[in-house]
Structures are given as structure tokens and as C-alpha cells.
Amino acid sequence: MNYPTDRPATWFVTGASRGLGLELVTQLLQRGDNVAATTRSKDRLIEALPGVDTSRLLPLQVSLADETEVTAAVTATQDRFGGIDVVVNNAGYGFLAAIEEVTDAEARDMFDVQIFGVWNVLRAALPQMRARRSGHIINVSSILGLTTFPGWGLYSAGKFALEGLTESLAAEVVDFDIAVNLIEPGYLRTDFLRPTSLGLPESTVDAYPAIREMTRAHLAMPGTQLGDPVRAAAAIITVAVQGDAPLHQLLGSDSLEFADARLNTLRAEFDAAKELAVTSDHQG
């Protein structure tokens, strides 16, 4: 088991000042663990932790897209706490738009956070984990990393990429006793669907009225989502502490429902594809 039992664990958590990340940081500090928490605003993070003992907190104002800043943050964490036991790549935001409505800049911004930011963290953290032959990488994806819906193409593109990256990573580092997990929540009752965390296109196309209706429905959803961020954060801690979760750890009964539907659809499509698939083999 990678999780230390003879000392406080050290966690490196990105996207820590809101939503699931903030709840995770809160619970970790209450447990007495060491936490390095990245955010775009250290002041906002500290203000969001009233009454919480922050003596074991290292707040880090970091642009995850800047490799130099990320490397410095990881180094600062190692200097302060002696090493990193668990990395949680949690930073992210939603985006609701038709594919043709997404600008080049919006697409690149999304991948800067969801993929290149994660890659920067991994490049910085993995060498010391390999050297110690111990560590745990937890990448927070989404059920929309396994399936998708109209309007969620950009967000899902980032999460699908994260899923592929993480699956490959898990196979690469298993011989170094580094654990890897994907967390795939459904809808959580956080501010994810509020303007602070949900991007919308600069301009829209009249051809997609269903996406406009979906956008209105999602903007009205906050406060009614099924998932509890307190329980979700506790589940992530359980994944790290117990160390026996599957690579793909779904969270929420809605996530389970969507995943089952996706599996059924894929099986039907693969079955339908068999006849033509075998015709592309060399004959003889």
C-alpha cells in the first residue's frame, strides 16, 4: 500500500479554491495531512477556509499551463514537506457550446488546463515518486470522459484525452509501485455550472436551438445536482488510503447510469462493425 501509515501524508492538489478541490483540501487538513494546494488566487483559497487549521497548508498561486511555475510549485512542496505522496489533478472548468461555436483560443485554453497542465504536474512529480518507488496519481476526469452529449464536445475532448493519458500512465508506472486512478463523477452540487466555472461561446449559431435550451437548463441546475461534493471528496480520500480502487472509479449513481448506457451502445456498435471490420485484413 502506497499511503503512509506512520506519518501525515502529503497531497498536491490542483484547482483547490472552489468546488470539489476546496472540499478535498478542507477534509485533508481536518485529517491532519499536509496539503500543497494550487490556485489562481491564494487569497481566495485562504478566505474559503474559515475556521480550518491551515498550519499544514502550502497555498501556491500557479498557472498550470506554465511549466516553470508548476515545477517550482512541486519543488516548494518537496522542500516544505519532504516529498509528495498523492497528486490530485483536479483543476478544470466546463464549457457548453456547439463544436463550430468554439474558437481556437477557447479550445487551447481548455487543453492548457485539462491536459497540458496535468502533463506539467506529472513531469514535475513523477521523478521523485519513481526514485522512492512510491506514490499515487489521481486524475479527476468526468463521466463526460467516457461518454458525451451535444454541446459538451470541447469539455469531453479534454476529458477523453485525460482518460487516454491516464490509462497509458498507469501501465508505465506500475513497475515503480506508483498507483494511478481516474475519478469519473457525475453532476456534483458545486459551482461547476455557474458562470465562474462554466464557459460559454463568444458567439452562437442559430442552427443549434437544442444546445441553447440545454445551456439554459444547466444554468438553472445549480443546487439540484445529485452528487454531494463532501461525499465525493471523502471517496477520493478513500481511493488513496485504501489503494485498491479500479483504474476507472465512477462516482454517483448518475455516473453509473451513463456509463452502463455507454457500454451497451459500444457493444452494439462493435457487433454491427464486425462484418466489415474483418474485410480489411490481408487475405492468404
Q: Determine whether 241 is exposed, middle or buried from the number of CB atoms within 10 Å of its CB (0-12, 13-18, 19+).
A: middle
Q: Is 208 annotated as catalytic?
A: no
Q: Which residue is catalytic, options 93, 155, 187, 208?
A: 155
Residue type at position 31: R
**Residues contacting residue 68 through CB under 8 Å, at least 6 positions apart:** none
d(CA 188, CA 231): 10
Instruction: Confirm if 114 and 161 have CB atoms less than 8 A apart.
Output: yes
104-111 and 153-173 helices cross at what angle (nearest 10)? 30
- For residue 86, the one-letter residue type is V
Residue entry with cell 496519481: 137
> Which residues carry out catalysis?
155
